[in-house]
Every structure is written in structure tokens, then in C-alpha cells.
Amino acid sequence: MKRVPHITLEDIARQLDVSRVTVSKALRGHPDISQEMTKRVRKVADDLGYSPNIIARSLSARRSNMIGLVVPKIAHFFFGAVIESVYNTAFEHNVETILTVSQENAEREKKHLQTLVSMRVDGIIISISQETHDLDIFRWIRQMGIPLLFLDRRPDPPLPGFSSVLVDDRGGTLRAIDHAVAVGYRKLAYIGGGPHINIGKERFAGFEQALEKHGIPLRKNWVIRGGFGRDDGYNGFMQLHRSGDLPEFIFAVTYPVALGVYEAAKVLGVRIPEDVDIMSFGDSDVTRFITPSLSCVNQPTLELGSKAVELLLSIIANPDSVADQHVIVPTDLILRETCVRERPSRRQEAG
Amino acid sequence: MKRVPHITLEDIARQLDVSRVTVSKALRGHPDISQEMTKRVRKVADDLGYSPNIIARSLSARRSNMIGLVVPKIAHFFFGAVIESVYNTAFEHNVETILTVSQENAEREKKHLQTLVSMRVDGIIISISQETHDLDIFRWIRQMGIPLLFLDRRPDPPLPGFSSVLVDDRGGTLRAIDHAVAVGYRKLAYIGGGPHINIGKERFAGFEQALEKHGIPLRKNWVIRGGFGRDDGYNGFMQLHRSGDLPEFIFAVTYPVALGVYEAAKVLGVRIPEDVDIMSFGDSDVTRFITPSLSCVNQPTLELGSKAVELLLSIIANPDSVADQHVIVPTDLILRETCVRERPSRRQEAG
DNA sequence: TTGAAAGCGCTAACAA
DNA sequence: TTGTTAGCGCTTTCAA
């Protein structure tokens, strides 16, 4: 493969006998340059197969037109959809998205953040890993003057100096439990991750609040605080089952947790929804196709991604806006074959 | 937010009263510099919170340590897994991956490729969109001297001058059909995308080859060539059903196509696997959880990603290697609740 | 073992 | 309307 040196502004300029600056301006449609000249420059650029070197442009302009995106996972319905939305929105604004994946690993997350800073992205959107505890890196980034905002997952308690775009975790859970109670359940369990991250804290808070509202006492052994993955659901249900005292209904903090519950239930011969009913926070394509299809709290991924990009770009454009902004996006309830009134067999027995 | 100018080599150099070059070398662990000095430089860099500007580095070094990745979709099990593997492998090699998503749109794909060239990535890995017909962009990229390789999906006929990492589409399909025949089926249908892309052509070729091998004539109205998505499966099955002549078994070119078939079957009251049995090319998490769980040809995503990155890096390191390389990764059969011997109810009737 | 000089390709400020 | 000058922050010779 012959290594043809790339065409540069210089090459185009020489061919037209003008200066690089003229070419640079013409190519960017700068009003300084005449229609006539602009057209000629564009023509030559095309003919030569010119491709602007955005590395050089970034260095010179001190602005990369790139934003960084850090997510914990990629092969996950929610994050897949959010990433897509971020990409699409950024694309519309002529901004490139640099995606990095932490794999729920705090060390790796930190490394990625350093890389993004090194790449001089104009801003960063992050959904932190389950394990992120050390927050110094965020302070360092703030000190570097790079806008960063949290999307969906952020440290709890929140870090001052950072905006965020969040899901209404508490309200969504509250509505789900309201529904479960309306269906007739009184023995409610919760399986989900810890409180050092907002989604763990808020979703559980919604659960607690709902119980209180309905005058249902919280049973400690029906609250399993693990992580947010399938294993956690599986193990959580096993633990619930071992205790010999199964609840009527389980709220799973994420859909992978719910899938883990399905798996464990199958292994144990416990029927869903007849023996134990279930809902989850978070939709996916699996939940639609599984039997019984899973009712859940749906997070508006499209809106999350676009809001995040737009907020970030506005902060980039105006870095001196004083106050942190916190956008909270509402959820909706998707009812499928679990947790529905219309299958009241056991409910009648239970009274 | 105060805009603190980033720390540069110059700042570190001044503080130590040495030159930028010394600092640059020390930071990169260049053997020119003494242990002692290296240590001192590193210390100051740390204290100052130095973050190397890789934009500047790339410009100067004429090498970005970035590779571009172009995929048609991201919220798709196969691509999600492949992306993850590419990222992980690149990460191990200290290479950053720039992901772009074409959304199965040829225009967008072209734009992304131009952007990647503009970013001066060291190489590109691409899985082309269903609609990619104009191949000039690839020739242009080759002319620019940027190594590009096709992963899983490539134009058919193949473009000379490009290496590829592919799945054994033909062999995998062949084995699947062998299995279906062994289970007892003779009335076999195929639903899948067109032949201008290798996965469409090769998988169908495997289907044809299998039929021929078993002396089963190919029935034109049992071959539906549409696209690769859920809609195509849905519509395909509807079409099959309308013809009033249902096959015993359907081979779906991808798992979304299979899901579409499930949906259509449900709508029509056709039972899977009792009335029509099915397998697909490509696994996913949905196929495991759906009822009945779907038997399929599994593509080794991990291996695909890592092989692709490694091959690309080797081409980058040695751009003058003459011959195109084509790695073909084998598949395996995953048997679940569809297309199994152990549910022979209808088979016995059918003789 | 260290440093001076030159340049990567581009843009912004200021002249002409 | 076009061009000149001066970098952006870094690396790569090559000389000291």
C-alpha cells in the first residue's frame, strides 16, 4: 500500500496560487471569501480528494468538537439506546461522540476519563460504574475546566459543581408499587443495588415511600441489597426462597435483576406470576419476549440522551453559568403479563 | 467555571529548569533520560496534574493511536458484543477506538468514514450497512493509505485490496440445516436478506447447499429475500402464511428476523415449534429467554472482535504486506427448545 | 545525557 | 477581498 501523504491546505493553495488562509476560510464558508473564490477552492479540494485534518484543526482552534461519553456497559438495552440517542443528537450538532466503556470497573473508568481529557474533548457525559467511590477524578476534571455532566447514574450524595440529567427513579418506583398494591399485593420484596449510587438510593426510597403511604411495614428480610446484574437477581431470589417465606411480589431494581429472578424461579419450580409476581425498573427487548412478559417502569432513553447532549453543549457554550442544573425525566409504566389485575387466581385465594 | 489553561510540557520544563524535549522524553520513558531526571519530571507532572495533549501528539507524530469502528447498529446483541470485544482488545494495545454507527444508512456510513479519515485514525474496521452499494469511498480510503478491514459484513463480490474477518456463514447454516433434516424436516423455508452483502449471500448458499446435499428440492415460494430486521421476519412469515402452504421449518437469517416470525406466528395463532419450527443465524439474550427458546447458529463475537483488531494493527504496523487476508471464524450450534428431536409429536404424524 | 531547531496542518488576529 | 504573522503542544532529528 503506497503511503500517499495527505493533501493539505497548502497543496490546494499552491494549485490556485492563493494563500492557505484563503483556502481555509473558503472551505469553512467564511464570509470573508468571495463566492467565486469559494467555488474554485471547493472544486480543487474535491478534485484532489482533500480531507481536512481535524487533529490539526482542533489543536489550532483549541476546541475539538468532540464530546466524551462514558458508560458502564454497552451490551445492555438501556445503555445501548442511550448511546444511540447521544450519538444521534451530537451528530445533528456536528459534534463527534467518543464512547468509552468502563465495564462497571472504577479503575477503567478513571483511565477513560483521563484519556478523554487528553483528547481535549469539549465536554463529558458520564454514567458512573457501580463501583465508583473515589470522586477526585471528577474534581480534577472540573479544575481542568472541562464541563462534565452525569447521565442517569451519579454519585450519591451528589457532587457540587456538576449538572445532571436523571430519571425520576423515585417517582417511577413509587408508581410501580402503587400499581402492585392496587392489584392486591401486600407482601412486597425489593431486590437491588446499594445506596452509594443514586439509582440504588432513589429507587429504594420510592419503594419505602410507597410502603409507608399504603401503611405496609417494611420487612428487612424482603429487602436484598446487592448489585444491579443478573447474578444479583438470581442470588437474591435464592436467598428469598431459602428464608422459606416468599413474598407475593418482587420489585427488581433493573431488568437484568428481574431476568435473574426468572432464572432462579425456573430452577426452583416457582411459577411467575402465579406464585410470585414481579416488576422491574427498566425496559428491554428481552422483557417483551420473555414469558410471562415483564411489566416495568420505562426510562425514556431517547429523551435522556438528547437532553444530556443539549445541556452539555449549552454548558460548553457558556461555561460561566453559575448554578448546577438537574434535569429529571419522568418515566412511564408499561404493563404486560406480570402484575396485572386480570389474572386474579391466587389473589382471590389470598383474599 | 474558571478556564485554567492546561498544563503543558513547557510548564513542567520551566519548573525544573530543563527543556521541553527532556520532559517529553522523560514522560514517555525514553531511555535517553536518566532515571533520576525521569523521576523528577514525573513527580512535577503529577503535582501539576499534567495531562498530555494527544491531539498535539498525534499531529506531531503523524499517528493517532486511534482506530475507527463503523457498525450498522448498536442496540443489537451481536454488534454490542463485537463492539465490546473490539474496545477491549484495542484497549489492551493502548489504542483508542472511535465508534460510529451508520444506522443501516449508506449516506451516514459514508459521512462517518470521512470523519474517521479526517480524524486521521490509524485504521478502520467496518461492518457495512445493508444498503451500502457505492464502493468508491472504500477505494478513496485505500488511496489515502489508511488500512481498512471488513468485519462480518462486507460487500459482495469482495473488494480487492481489503482484508476481512468473517464468520463461517455458509458452514454454519449448512450445519443448522443438517440438523433440521436430521430432526426429520423436509419442508424447509428461508427468510433473509439480499445477496449484495456477504452474509445474505453466504447464508443462503449454505441453505441451498444443504438442500442439495440431502436431495431436497428448493421451493421458490419458501425463500423470502427481504432484509435482516424484525419487520422482515414478520412480513416474511405473513407472506409464507398467506400462500396457504406452510413449511415445517424456517431458517431465519438473523435473530431479529426470527423474533419477527415469533410475533407473526403469535398474531396468526400458529404454534412454534408444533406447527412451524425455526432456527436462526445469530444468538442473543432474547433468544435464550423467549418461549420456546430459540436454537441458533452462534457467532463467536469475542474472537471476531479480537481477531479484527489484531489483524488491523498488524496491517498498520506493516502496510506493505501484499496480499489481502481473510480470516474465517467458525460457528457453533446452540440447541434449545426449537428444532430438537425430543419433541417429536408432529414428526411422527408426518412420518 | 540533554537541548536547539524545525515542523506537523491548521486557525485567529491583524494588516494590506 | 486576500494575505502575513504567529502560534496551538508536541515529537523528531541532530548537534552539543
CA closest to C5 C1', residue = B21
CA–CA separation, B128 and B73 (whole Å): 10
Answer yes or no: do B52 and A118 touch at CB < 8 A.
yes
- The nucleotide minimizing the C1' distance to residue A11's CA is C9
> CB contact, 8 Å: A107 with chain B?
no
Tell me if domain A9-52 and domain A62-166+301-329 are identical in fold. no
Q: Is the pLDDT of residue A299 over 50?
A: yes
Instruction: Find the mean pLDDT for residues A256-272.
Output: 96
Q: Report the predicted TM-score, pTM, of the whole model to 2 decimal places.
A: 0.91
Does the nearest atom of strand D lie within 7 Å of A27's Cβ?
no
pLDDT tens track for B51-71: 999 999 999 988 999 999 999
Q: Which helix (H) or strand (E) holds B209?
A: helix B198-213
pLDDT tens track for B26-55: 998 888 888 888 999 999 999 999 999 999
Answer yes or no: do B286 and A291 touch at CB < 8 A.
no
The whole-angstrom distance between B17's CA and the closest CA on chain A is 24
Q: Is the pLDDT of residue A344 over 70?
A: no
Lowest mean pLDDT among A262-271, B55-64, B259-268: B55-64
Instruction: Find the mean pLDDT for residues A280-285.
Output: 95
Residue B172: pLDDT band (50, 70, 90) is very high
| Cell of residue B199, nine digits | 452474509
Q: Is the pLDDT of residue B6 over 90?
A: no
Chain B, window 37-76: residues with a beta carbon less than 8 angstroms from a chain A beta carbon: 49, 51-56, 58-59, 64, 74-76
* C10 C1' to B38 CA distance, Å: 32
CATH of domain B9-52: 1.10.260.40
DSSP structure class, residue B329: E
Let me know: does A255 contact A296? Beta carbons within 8 Å. Answer: yes
CA–CA separation, A58 and A65 (whole Å): 8
Which ranges of chain A does DSSP label H, i.e. alpha helix?
9-16, 20-27, 35-48, 54-61, 77-92, 106-118, 136-143, 169-183, 198-213, 230-242, 255-268, 285-289, 301-317, 345-350
The total of other beta-carbon atoms located within 10 Å of residue B230's CB is 20
Instruction: Find the mean pLDDT for residues B151-178.
Output: 96
Percent share of chain B, pLDDT over 70: 96
> Residue ranges of the domains in chain A?
9-52, 62-166+301-329, 169-299+334-350
> What are the φ/ψ torsions at residue B247 (nearest 5 degrees)?
-75, 170
* Chain A residue numbers touching B162 (CB-CB < 8 A): none
Instruction: Find the mean pLDDT for residues A285-307.
Output: 95
* Chain A residue numbers touching B6 (CB-CB < 8 A): 120, 144
Instruction: Find the mean pLDDT for residues A11-18.
Output: 90
DSSP structure class, residue A36: H
> CB contact, 8 Å: B113 with chain A?
no
Nearest by Cα to B9 from B64, B52, B62: B52
CA angle B109/B113/A112 to nearest 5° reads 105
Lowest mean pLDDT among B17-21, B79-83, B94-98, B101-105: B17-21
> B163 - beta bridge partners?
B149
Q: In CATH, what class is A62-166+301-329?
A: alpha beta
Residue B4: pLDDT band (50, 70, 90) is low
The total of other beta-carbon atoms located within 10 Å of residue B344's CB is 12
CA–CA separation, A232 and A143 (whole Å): 37
> CB contact, 8 Å: B195 with chain A?
no
> What are the φ/ψ torsions at residue A150 (nearest 5 degrees)?
-90, 135
- Residue B138 in 3-state DSSP? helix
pLDDT tens track for B121-143: 999 999 999 999 999 999 999 98
pLDDT value of residue A32:
85
Out of B87, B115, B319, the one facing A101 most closely (by C-beta) is B87
pLDDT tens track for A221-256: 999 999 999 999 999 999 999 999 999 999 999 999
pLDDT value of residue A350:
35
pLDDT value of residue A342:
58
Q: Is the pLDDT of residue A1 over 70?
A: no
The whole-angstrom distance between B6's CA and the closest CA on chain A is 7
pLDDT value of residue A274:
95
Instruction: Find the mean pLDDT for residues B303-324.
Output: 92
Chain B, window 152-191: residues with a beta carbon less than 8 angstroms from a chain A beta carbon: none
Does the nearest atom of strand D lie within 7 Å of A60's Cβ?
yes
Instruction: Find the mean pLDDT for residues B105-112.
Output: 96
CA–CA separation, A239 and B89 (whole Å): 37
Q: Which nucleotides of D are covered by protein (CB under 7 A)?
A: 1-5, 7-13
Answer yes or no: do A53 and B83 touch at CB < 8 A.
no
Answer yes or no: do A290 and B290 touch at CB < 8 A.
yes
Averaged pLDDT score across all residues of chain B:
92
Averaged pLDDT score across all residues of chain A:
92
> CB contact, 8 Å: B101 with chain A?
yes
Does the nearest atom of strand D lie within 7 Å of A118's Cβ?
no
Q: Is the pLDDT of residue B343 over 60?
A: no
The whole-angstrom distance between A79's CA and the closest CA on chain B is 8
Residue A94: pLDDT band (50, 70, 90) is very high
> CB contact, 8 Å: B117 with chain A?
yes
CA–CA separation, A155 and A133 (whole Å): 8
Does the nearest atom of strand D lie within 7 Å of B28's Cβ?
yes
CATH of domain B169-299+334-350: 3.40.50.2300
pLDDT tens track for B205-222: 999 999 999 999 999 999
